[in-house]
Amino acid sequence: MDAAARFPDSVAILGPGLLGGSLALALKSDFGAAVDVRLWARRDAALQEATGAADLLTNDLEKATRDAEMVVLATPVGIMASLCSQLAPYLRPGTLVTDVGSVKGSLVRPIREALSRSDVPYLGSHPMAGSEQTGFKAARADLFQRAVCILTPDESNAPADIERLETFWLRLGCKTLRMSAEEHDRKIARISHLPHAVASAVVRAALAADPTAAECTGNGFRDATRIAGGDPGMWAGILLENRDQVLAALHDVSSQITELVEILRRLDEEALRRYLDAARSLRKHVPAAR
């Protein structure tokens, strides 16, 4: 393996939630003492929940990040740039900063500006491995096994840094894809952000007028609405950060619903069969659950 693509010997993870906590557990499970894992959180209570997950648990940003070979931002997207401004003085030359955020386009400029004085690179990554559960209590060491991880390099990223980050996620069991931040936000709006918004709308439409209807639910309703159980604060931030792409996707959903309403209004069984068959055919492109 190219020396530039070797696995980092020290990783600082900022945020011990589902993704950050799972990353810490995976690193210690797979690499043990070979990787110095530091886990940072603002709150002492969050650190206490993650006891034993890392070599260092701290709410001191300098202790967490000084001389780390890689820094992984696993906090809400809205505070990542501010954190980078605070930690920039502690980073050594050659440190690679990445994140696990669900939105990329709004991060690139502010994070790079925040890191400019330390002259360290930022390269976004997004492991598609979350769930509606939140916090370290939901973290697990095998979360990234066979998950897709999207890297969002651009012309400012050195090939060696792209290789380093790709090696990192591959060694943790991911399959990697590369695309621009803009393409990432467009695609993730449709296969992640849109489903959450629509699931929330379905729950409201189904149960707001008669919550007791929930007593009749089976697996179909549970499967279709599971992700509506996600943390409202986190998801509000995600949907607002990727607002333009989410609005475009919601507009397409609105058009699909309008078409379906019209088909049902006309009692057009043949058109209804075609509509449902088209959806089934497209659904076949979705890979099986890992």
Q: pLDDT digit string (tens) for 152-197?
A: 999 999 999 999 999 999 999 999 999 999 999 999 999 999 999 9
Which of the listed residues 137, 154, 179 is the one where a domain comes to its end?
Answer: 179
Mean pLDDT of the chain: 94
Nearest by Cα to 235 from 187, 193, 190: 193
pLDDT at 54 over 80: yes
Would you give the DSSP letter of residue 209? S
- Whether residues 170 and 230 share a domain: the answer is no
pLDDT at 6 over 90: no
- Whether residues 131 and 222 share a domain: the answer is no
- Whether residues 256 and 269 share a domain: the answer is yes
- Whether residues 62 and 134 share a domain: the answer is yes
- Whether residues 165 and 74 share a domain: the answer is yes
Please answer whether residues 61 and 41 qualify as being in contact, where contact means their C-beta atoms are separated by less than 8 angstroms.
no
Q: Which whole number is the average pLDDT over 29-38?
A: 95
pLDDT at 122 over 60: yes
The pairing of beta strand 175-178 with beta strand 148-152 = parallel
pLDDT at 2 over 60: no
Query: For residue 288, is it within any domain?
Result: no
Query: For residue 273, is it within any domain?
Result: yes
Q: Would you tell me how many other CB atoms lie within 10 Å of the CB of residue 147?
A: 18
Among 5-9, 192-196, 239-243, the least confident range: 5-9
Query: For residue 289, is it within any domain?
Result: no
Please answer whether residues 25 and 44 qualify as being in contact, where contact means their C-beta atoms are separated by less than 8 angstroms.
no
- Whether residues 253 and 137 share a domain: the answer is no
Dist. CA 50–CA 134, nearest whole Å: 13
Cα 76 from chain centre: 10
Question: In this predicted structure, what is the pLDDT of residue 12?
Answer: 98
Residue 104 lies in domain:
3-179
pLDDT digits (tens, 9 = 90+) for 64-93: 999 999 999 999 999 999 999 999 999 998
The angle that helices 232-241 and 194-207 make with each other, rounded to 10 degrees, is 130
Question: In this predicted structure, what is the pLDDT of residue 3?
Answer: 43
Straight-line distance from the first to the last Cα atom of the chain, in angstroms, rounded to the nearest whole number? 28
Nearest by Cα to 228 from 267, 260, 201: 201
Which of the listed residues 125, 146, 179 is the one where a domain comes to its end?
Answer: 179
Q: Is 284 helix (H, G, I), strand (E, B) or coil?
A: coil
- Whether residues 162 and 120 share a domain: the answer is yes
